[in-house]
Amino acid sequence: MRHRLANPALLTALAAMLAACQTPAPTTGPNRAALPTMERVALGASACWFKSGDPAFAAYKLAPELNSFTGRPRILLVHKGSPESRPLLVVQAEGSPSRLQAFGPMMSDPVAGRIVADVNRWSGGNKACS
């Protein structure tokens, strides 16, 4: 007794559907979720603003707060001599893809344009300093 196989056209269609389900989603660029975005920003700020000895940031200290239970990882810039004082700059991200915010007294200073440009560059994956 011979067994008849299923319709070849049906098998081809099922195989194509299965292959489509197993194709990985294309990845372009860095992870855009809040935490990885703020990790890139913190690394950029550390390297370009502080470790480089940039005079525009010499009076400040970086205070990263990446482990956030609120879903808003952030970095703070505080006075170097009084890290417990109110932050002069807060840069935070929320969501996926992340929405960035920068606020605080430094955003009224002449350095604000540079802060925005640097944060946007680093959040997109570019590690260059300005």
CA 8/CA 113 separation, integer angstroms: 63
Question: Which tens digit of pLDDT belongs to each residue from 61-99?
Answer: 999 999 978 889 999 999 999 888 899 999 999 999 999
Tokens 């590690």 -> residue? 127
Q: In whole angstroms, give the CA distance from residue 95 to residue 115.
A: 21
Mean pLDDT estimate for the chain: 84
Tokens of 41: 């920003």
What is the rounded CA–CA span in Å between residue 43 and residue 86? Answer: 22
Beta strand extents in the chain (DSSP E only): 60-65, 74-79, 89-94, 99-103
Token output for 66? 């990446």
| pLDDT tier, 9 (very low <50, low <70, confident <90, very high otherwise) | low
CA distance 58 to 51: 10
Q: What tokens were used for 53?
A: 């000895």
The model's confidence at residue 40, banded by pLDDT at 50, 70 and 90, is very high
